[in-house]
Structure 1
Amino acid sequence: MRPSIKILEEDMKEKVVLEAMEILEEIGFFVENTEAVEILRNAGINVDSETQRALIPADLVKKSLKTAPQSISLYNRDGDFVTVLGGDNICFDPGSAALNVLDQETNEIRTAVTKDFVDFTKVVDQLEHIQAQSTAITCSDVPEKISDRYRLLIALIFSKKPIVTGTFVKESFEVMKDMLVAVRGSEEELRRKPLAIFDACPSPPLKWSDLTCQSIIDCAKYGIPSEFVSMPMTGATAPVTILGSIVQHAAETLAGLVITQIVSPGAPVIWGGSPAAFDMRKGTMYLASVDTILMDLGYVEIGKYLNLPTHAYLGMSDAKILDTQAGFETGMGSLLAGIKGVNMISGAGMMNFESTQSIQKVVIDNEIAGMTYKFVKGITQRDEPIAKNLLKEFDKKTHLLSHDHTMKWFREELYLPSTVVDRSTNEEWITKGRKSIGERANETVTKLLSKYPGVSLDNDIIEDLTRIMKYENVDFKTKLDL
């Protein structure tokens, strides 16, 4: 039996969706993109020329929900199936777009550079329980206007895993799409076997910006999955009530969904988000608190109620170092996300209010992900009767350590972590140097970097990627030590 958790009653889910539709029909949402305005008007939607406010009838929302796919399959760089986003399947990926990193040697937060993301990508590529990459780190040592596409270049070259990415400027989409096509072989193959997901974040309250509109329009045209990441902040850019923020999240996300389905009925979309509770004392938004977790699980239930693939930022911490807070926030969020069946659980490695990535933490979070996978499998009956026949043998034996039954099932029944997790005796722990989990994770990072098998992408494709990326006089092959 799979464990489960319920946040909202069925009638409350219906109420949230109906109120979100009423908001879109009576209040509307702001749309800043001229192509999106034209698309909406051609579909018969009233868009005010002065206020840029669009009013969407509920019937069109319902029609769009019928054409949006209930699941999305993801494939790796080689075209092999990785996972399906839908139902209660779960998949972990690192948190995206960190401007800073927790330095592996000094444990101080600093600005990120290319080597940080290359090393991070190499490590994540070898982590068993992190099934997808993300463009996790924004490198400060390249021009800002190409930093979005540069992240994708690194992820495509140094990893085989599917990628969660996104644009910072409108002009980057065409370049990034062409890079994905270069790897997949054709636009048709990219549509058939998605390799990347593009995040698109509406601006609360109730606004889709020029950039995010363009992203979801372009993705819909090429069959690239869009992951809607609505970010209501309680009491600041959204109602202070958790349920009120969930309603706003639903309205913003439904608006994006309608645009994609007008552009291309059946365009793949993901009901995602990254809401935050606002700390009235500190003036900060916290993303790993119990309040935020409730919002995440609540809006995910709405997505499941609508039969859409789901996403949430639930595998991260607001801590600044690898301390107890980093562990309990990440562990609590990841496990609850797994039990809820969030399809894409984002945030591994991420700290400090979604601004910092840690290569050590992503290794630790891989273990949390592994434990989550184990937990959501639940308990399985292996024998009939369950234990009676085995226990009869205790009159002959004092233990079952070497019993055939133990040998057959212990790897299936028991989660066996890596050495990142301490399960030694106190004496052994002292003998090995009294190492913290951060120190053990650091050792694992060093081992994984030394074990990285090297770039396996065909040289001709690398040439294509660097040609597509061409920008002024930047030599990307030299910069990436290729």
Structure 2
Amino acid sequence: MTETTLRRSGGRAARLSARASVAEPAMRPIRPGLRGGQYRPLSDADVQRIHEAALRALFEIGLADAPESGIAAMTAAGAILGTDRRLRFPPAMVEDALARTRRDLVLFGRSPENDLDLSGTRVHFGTAGAAVHMVDVETDRYRESTVADLHDAARIADVLDNIHFVQRPMVCRDIPDNLEMDLNTIYACCTGTLKHVGTSFTDPDFVDDALELLHMIAGSEAAWRDRPFVSNSNCFVVPPMKFATESCKVMEACIRGGMPVLLLSAGQAGATAPVTIAGAIVQAVAECLAGLCYVDALAPGHPVIFGTWPFVSDLRTGAMSGGSGEQALLTAGCAQMHAFYGLPGGAAAGIADSKRPDMQAGWEQMCSNVMAGLAGLNMVYEAAGMHASLLGFCHESLILGDDLIGQALRCVRGIEVDDDTLALDAIRDACIGGVGHYLGSSQTLARMQRDYVYPALGDRSSPKEWEERGKPDLLAQTTARKMAILATTPRARLDPATDKAIRARFRIHLPA
């Protein structure tokens, strides 16, 4: 056996040992909050023109249908109520609201290690949506989603490194009472994950009960207000350019309760938003700026996320097309507008039009997730698990999405150039008196965990190895991992006394 063979063998053993170890969080190749912003589909002049067009839309067109409470607050702050009952916003009012909006927003988890810093172009991926069906990969059928499915989704997301927050991805179709559905949505998510949770409310009268539940989970109202770990996903507008009256009342109640608010404008290009990508962004920006003015009139500095979520239509049918290249461009353009304002922002990416976790789903989810991350989107909503243009959610797809987002985050991290990464010393050592390769070298071993992302389920074996292992099926392996996760006790489980008190106060549909 030659010296070279010995060195290669030892190097391989060392690599396997290093591969089996888990790097400290700061040393890992990817993590929450990596800075994006490398991709800029809009020029600086384009961004300025979109901003100016949005200001003109707010001043010349305005928004209709604000509730009386909102009209009173916004007119007192400088908005103008026309004889057509539309609120119009002078540019100076908008600029003042922008100046008072918080830039240093942190979304809290129930545990501090899950806190999300939304400053600058820090990127975070998570779930969202309101799917009404579950994709059952074993039967290849769609069925109505349940509160147990939602709880399982939160439990799965809690252990996935690249899913950074859990906004409710599906509706509890097995709970017909809307109040009970809203409360059980919070319970199912918060007992499934310690990560930040987002949810919606169907009625403003339900918010006080929800806050009482959250105070019980947090330990007290003061503890909740100090670290609000649930945000309100609020569709405060009905595009084009109308306030959603009841949702605005929900928003007001959430603000009073100390809950962060996602101001969500979700027009559909070619249907409820202009067909052009630039026009859809203009309308979404204008609507969200109106939302900022609304919040600023009620509670200056209240934590808000600038949620421009314009979607794309397949213009042949009018159906939504979340997996399109145009959707990826829309989301990236919105991220650039968030950066222009310096605001914490969120938008949708990672949606598949495909009905199951297949090759179509893979290309659709990767395209928009990569572009959203590269554009520096703070909160990438709907990044994993979503199929059929938001109609179906899939647990297996959520798990596969963790691998996919890992690769997207590696793209966001980019290429570091310094004396070590230029690798001149490593090249010299390998070529002059060395073994002529870099396998097992000190630099390779030192950086294999810091620079490279390895899929948990993606198969990189050779065809021969794959055959020898019985040709493992990706979906079957994913289902097995799902079952293993759900067989464990969730770390977010409440202590027995708190859980008993909650169940005595509210009708909880999940078994104890």
* TM-score (ref. length: structure 1): 0.92
Q: Residues 405, 454 of structure 1: CA spacing in aligned structure 2 closer, same or farther, 3 A cutoff?
A: closer
List runs of 5+ in structure 2 lacking aligned partners.
Answer: 1-34
Q: 2:45 aligned with 1:8, yes or no? A: no
Q: 2:101 aligned with 1:68, yes or no? A: yes
Counterpart AA for 2:217: V
Matches within 5 A, 1:195-274: 195-201=229-235, 202-274=237-309
Q: Which residue of 1 aligns with 2:406?
A: 370
Q: Residues 417, 284 of structure 1: CA spacing in aligned structure 2 closer, same or farther, 3 A cutoff?
A: same
Q: Which residue of 2 aligns with 1:148?
A: 182
Structure 2: how far apart are the matches of 1:453 and 1:301? 37
Of 105, 108, 113, which residue of structure 1 is paired with 2:141?
A: 108
Q: Which residue of 2 aligns with 1:466?
A: 503
Q: Residues 272, 322 of structure 1: CA spacing in aligned structure 2 closer, same or farther, 3 A cutoff?
A: same
Q: 2:511 aligned with 1:481, yes or no? A: yes
Structure 1 residue 239: deviation in Å? 1.5
Helix, strand or coil at the partner of 1:250: helix
Q: Residues 3, 388 of structure 1: CA spacing in aligned structure 2 closer, same or farther, 3 A cutoff?
A: farther
Q: Residues 388, 206 of structure 1: CA spacing in aligned structure 2 closer, same or farther, 3 A cutoff?
A: same
Structure 1 residue 270: deviation in Å? 1.0
Q: Residues 453, 229 of structure 1: CA spacing in aligned structure 2 closer, same or farther, 3 A cutoff?
A: closer
Q: Which residue of 2 aligns with 1:357?
A: 393
Helix, strand or coil at the partner of 2:204: coil
Q: 2:434 aligned with 1:396, yes or no? A: yes
Structure 2: how far apart are the matches of 1:97 and 1:160? 21
Of 285, 290, 298, which residue of structure 1 is paired with 2:333?
A: 298
Counterpart AA for 1:481: P
Helix, strand or coil at the partner of 1:128: coil
Of 103, 127, 130, which residue of structure 2 is paired with 1:97?
A: 130
Structure 2: how far apart are the matches of 1:426 and 1:342? 38
Helix, strand or coil at the partner of 1:30: coil
**8 Å CA contact retained: 1:103, 1:109:** yes
Q: Which residue of 2 aligns with 1:413?
A: 451
Q: Which residue of 2 aligns with 1:24?
A: 58
Structure 1 residue 340: deviation in Å? 0.8
Structure 2: how far apart are the matches of 1:454 and 1:8? 43
Q: Residues 384, 45 of structure 1: CA spacing in aligned structure 2 closer, same or farther, 3 A cutoff?
A: closer
Q: Which residue of 2 aligns with 1:42?
A: 76
Q: Name the % identity.
A: 26
Q: Which residue of 1 aligns with 2:12?
A: none
Structure 1 residue 23: deviation in Å? 1.5
Count residues in correspondence. Answer: 473
Q: Which residue of 1 aligns with 2:479?
A: 442
Matches within 5 A, 1:375-390: 375-381=411-417, 383-384=419-420, 386-390=422-426
Q: Residues 403, 178 of structure 1: CA spacing in aligned structure 2 closer, same or farther, 3 A cutoff?
A: same
**8 Å CA contact retained: 1:40, 1:259:** yes
Counterpart AA for 1:138: V
**8 Å CA contact retained: 1:198, 1:227:** yes
Counterpart AA for 1:231: A
Structure 2: how far apart are the matches of 1:149 and 1:180? 10
Structure 2: how far apart are the matches of 1:361 and 1:434? 20
Structure 2: how far apart are the matches of 1:403 and 1:378? 23
Helix, strand or coil at the partner of 1:66: helix
Q: Which has the higher mean CA deviation after the structures are superposed, 253-262 or 52-61?
A: 52-61
Helix, strand or coil at the partner of 2:115: strand
Helix, strand or coil at the partner of 1:102: strand
Q: Which residue of 2 aligns with 1:422?
A: 459
**8 Å CA contact retained: 1:95, 1:316:** no
Matches within 5 A, 1:167-182: 167-182=201-216
**8 Å CA contact retained: 2:131, 2:169:** yes
Q: Residues 397, 240 of structure 1: CA spacing in aligned structure 2 closer, same or farther, 3 A cutoff?
A: same
Structure 2: how far apart are the matches of 1:407 and 1:44? 62
Q: Residues 256, 447 of structure 1: CA spacing in aligned structure 2 closer, same or farther, 3 A cutoff?
A: same
Structure 1 residue 455: deviation in Å? 5.3
Q: Which has the higher mean CA deviation after the structures are superposed, 157-166 or 371-380?
A: 371-380
Structure 1 residue 219: deviation in Å? 2.9
Structure 1: how far apart are the matches of 2:53 and 2:434? 67
Helix, strand or coil at the partner of 1:272: strand
Structure 2: how far apart are the matches of 1:188 and 1:62? 33
* TM-score (ref. length: structure 2): 0.87
Structure 2: how far apart are the matches of 1:383 and 1:451? 45
**8 Å CA contact retained: 1:101, 1:109:** yes
List runs of 5+ in structure 1 lacking aligned partners.
Answer: none
C-alpha root-mean-square deviation of aligned residues, in Å? 2.1
Structure 2: how far apart are the matches of 1:301 and 1:288? 20
Q: 1:245-277, CA deviations, whole angstroms, 9 ceiling, x for partnerless residues?
A: 111111111111101011001011111133222
Q: Residues 104, 467 of structure 1: CA spacing in aligned structure 2 closer, same or farther, 3 A cutoff?
A: farther
Counterpart AA for 2:45: D
Counterpart AA for 1:352: A
